[in-house]
Amino acid sequence: MAGSRWPVASPGRRRGPELERAILDAALEQLSTVGWNALTMEGVAAGAHTGKASLYRRWPSKADLVADALRTGLPQIGEIPDGGSIREDLHLLCVRTRDVMHSRAGEALRSVLHECDHKQADRFHGLIWSGLHEPAQRLIRELVLRGIARGDVRPDATGPFVVDVIPAMLMYRAKVCGSEWGGAEIAELIDEVMVPLLRA
């Protein structure tokens, strides 16, 4: 109504966690569309509908922003419920690990490693270790011990290389061979490599 003393409402400004989530999501979107080399703070700010200053207040550099976006964007493997056998337990772990690798953040992380220089590569390799390899190795160790207690894994299958096989194979076949890990490939890895390796 003309002359009304009530102000017209304006959209609220995003602040704090809401704005940070929008920025990190925009960074992942930029990585998936233009890659590491072409990603800019200006482009991320535009994608998040905010000012560039909002980014620099939180992240001093592009590398800091991208590392945070990848770290927070990687899904968790999660705990593996007892499936009744080492085969079922490891199969579920493989499926979840593959899903992390093929998530938007996982794909972006691998593409960043192909593009960035050696100085930054060490930092992003650390993200792969903390976000994927270390959790997978911890879970495999737990599953092997569970299998030993259950009686379907040999008692001496506790060497350090046992926990490396699945993460190493998944990463090698994806990165070096460009292979996808479908259900048949995962079953083959479990049935022809892991179960014979661990069988009691």
Domain boundaries 16-72, corresponding CATH code: 1.10.10.60
Q: What is the mean pLDDT of the segment spanning 41-68?
A: 95
The CATH superfamily of 78-198 is: Tetracycline Repressor, domain 2 (1.10.357.10)
Question: Which is more confidently placed, 107 or 19?
Answer: 19
Domain spans of the chain? 16-72, 78-198
176 residue type, one letter? V
Q: What is the mean pLDDT of the segment spanning 96-124?
A: 86
Question: Which is more confidently placed, 41 or 111?
Answer: 41
Question: Which is more confidently placed, 125 or 55?
Answer: 55
User: Which pLDDT score, from 0 to 100, does residue 112 have?
Assistant: 87
Which residues have C-beta within 8 Å of that of residue 85, sequence separation ≥ 6? Answer: 147, 150, 152
Say yes or no to pLDDT of 3 above 60: no
**Model confidence band, residue 14 (pLDDT cutoffs 50, 70, 90):** low
User: Which pLDDT score, from 0 to 100, does residue 173 have?
Assistant: 76
Three-state DSSP class for 5? coil
Q: Over the stretch 124-148, which tens digit does the pLDDT of each residue have?
A: 888 888 988 999 999 999 999 999 9
Question: Which is more confidently placed, 172 or 76?
Answer: 76
**Model confidence band, residue 2 (pLDDT cutoffs 50, 70, 90):** very low
Percent of the chain with pLDDT over 90: 64
Q: Which tokens in the block code for residue 126?
A: 């650390």
Run of H or E residues at 74: none
User: Which pLDDT score, from 0 to 100, does residue 172 have?
Assistant: 82
What's the pTM value of the predicted model, to 2 decimals? 0.81
Assess whether the region 16-72 and the region 78-198 belong to the same CATH fold: no
User: Which pLDDT score, from 0 to 100, does residue 163 have?
Assistant: 94
Phi/psi at 126 (nearest 5 deg)? -60, -35
Q: What is the mean pLDDT of the segment spanning 99-123?
A: 85
8 A C-beta contact, residue 109 and residue 171: no
End-to-end CA distance of the chain: give it in Å, rounded.
82
Q: What is the mean pLDDT of the segment spanning 97-124?
A: 86
Q: What is the mean pLDDT of the segment spanning 167-186?
A: 80
Q: Over the stretch 146-155, which tens digit does the pLDDT of each residue have?
A: 999 999 999 9
User: Which pLDDT score, from 0 to 100, does residue 79 have?
Assistant: 94
